[in-house]
Chain A
Amino acid sequence: GAVVSQHPSWVICKSGTSVKIECRSLDFQATTMFWYRQFPKQSLMLMATSNEGSKATYEQGVEKDKFLINHASLTLSTLTVTSAHPEDSSFYICSASIGHLIGNQPQHFGDGTRLSIL
């Protein structure tokens, strides 16, 4: 089945550090990947849509200069949390669908990255 690998799984770092999270589709190509954020005991909220070869589309209220997204290939999208602060501590999860028909294929999720900023 389709596998999405997310790395790292857990990050603890000091305030002010920039953190990069990778999302890879291992056995399929993904034109589009999604980045979600999940606060404790809450649902997943879409942060941004990552499109291969073009700029990401950010949801309202998500700072694009704070959360940098790069989708340089059909199998890799990265999310960089710049100058992270304690309020950025959260669980970040990426997902990807096979092929171009993103509405017609189930999304497969990575295992998530738990980010803790001290």
Chain B
Amino acid sequence: GEDVEQSLFLSVREGDSSVINCTYTDSSSTYLYWYKQEPGAGLQLLTYIFSNMDMKQDQRLTVLLNKKDKHLSLRIADTQTGDSAIYFCAESGGSQGNLIFGKGTKLSVKP
């Protein structure tokens, strides 16, 4: 079945770049997503990339997609303490059109 894997924790210093990695199994996924979840809150769509793209940049966020290796990454430039949250990678390959989520990467930003 479909599976999305991501590392559980990442710790960086304020001002550094953060790179969160994700691998997925469903090569037919049309879109791949990054969502942010702050404690006790819902999911905020950060960005998404269409499967025929290699890269997408949106202000401090850069998404890289290696479709051959089924690898997705999210780079956050100049990471701030407000970026501390859990970041979920998701792919659109669910049988009902739903998203399949990774377990989330907890990003901790140290001042």
Contacts and interface: CB of A to CB of B under 8 A. Distances in A.
Interface residues of B, number: 22
A34 B92 CA distance: 13
B97 A97 contact: yes
A22 to B, nearest CB: 14
A109 B35 contact: yes
Interface residues of A, number: 24
Contacts of B96: 32, 34, 46, 49, 57
Interface of B: 30-31, 33, 35, 40-45, 48, 88, 92, 94, 96-99, 101-104
21 contacts: A32-B96, A34-B98, A34-B99, A43-B88, A43-B104, A46-B94, A46-B98, A49-B97, A93-B43, A95-B99, A103-B92, A103-B97, A104-B30, A104-B31, A108-B45, A109-B35, A109-B42, A111-B41, A111-B42, A112-B42, A112-B43
